[in-house]
Amino acid sequence: MLSQKMQAAFNEQIRNEIASGYLYLAMSAYLESQNFGGAAHWMREQYKEELDHAAKLFKHVTDRSGRVVLEAIEKPPVEFGSLKEVFQAVLAHEQKVTGLINKLYETALAEKDYPAQIELQWFIKEQVEEEKTVEDILAQIEACDGKPHLLLMIDHHLGKRGQ
């Protein structure tokens, strides 16, 4: 059974994961408006992944006789700038999420909640992957040096995510 402290911490992270998905969906809408359909597709895939993360945490709470209580999420921004600025924002956001996961893990350590620690190890590993993926995309965008035809090639490549 989850302690009240762990239950509250998991509920907060469920909210954070859903908010992350909402942010990526907003980025997708923005990128569509900027004619970056491939990057918009990539963001929609990221949106789905964040909701999957929330569902994984949800299941952990309910499997341990806890109660999920959903809290409100903030409206995401609607403007994001250039393709490079969008992915810089994604990287900053993923780094923030890494910090939140680490904090949740620290809570699990303090609470001596071993099942939570095991569950959260998956999320820690996932965050390493998330940050590396976005860093690689940013390196590719930066290598384009602002050349539109190269950015379109990257956009095309991003559109293949999940295929």
161 phi and psi angles, rounded to 5 deg: -60, 135
Q: What is the pLDDT of residues 107-149, one digit of tens each?
A: 999 999 999 999 999 999 999 999 999 999 999 999 998 889 9
Residue spans per domain, the chain: 4-158
- pLDDT on residue 6: 98
- What parts of the chain have a pLDDT lower than 50? none
- pLDDT on residue 124: 98
- pLDDT on residue 45: 98
- Rounded CA-CA distance 78/82 in Å is 13
Tokens 């969906």, residue located: 25
- Rounded CA-CA distance 123/27 in Å is 23
- pLDDT on residue 26: 98
- pLDDT on residue 163: 80
- pLDDT on residue 145: 87
- pLDDT on residue 1: 84
Fill in the DSSP letter of residue 113.
-
**CATH number among 3.40.190.10, 3.20.20.140, 1.20.1260.10, 3.40.50.1360, domain 4-158:** 1.20.1260.10
- pLDDT on residue 146: 80
- pLDDT on residue 119: 97
- Rounded CA-CA distance 103/54 in Å is 16
- Rounded CA-CA distance 155/28 in Å is 12
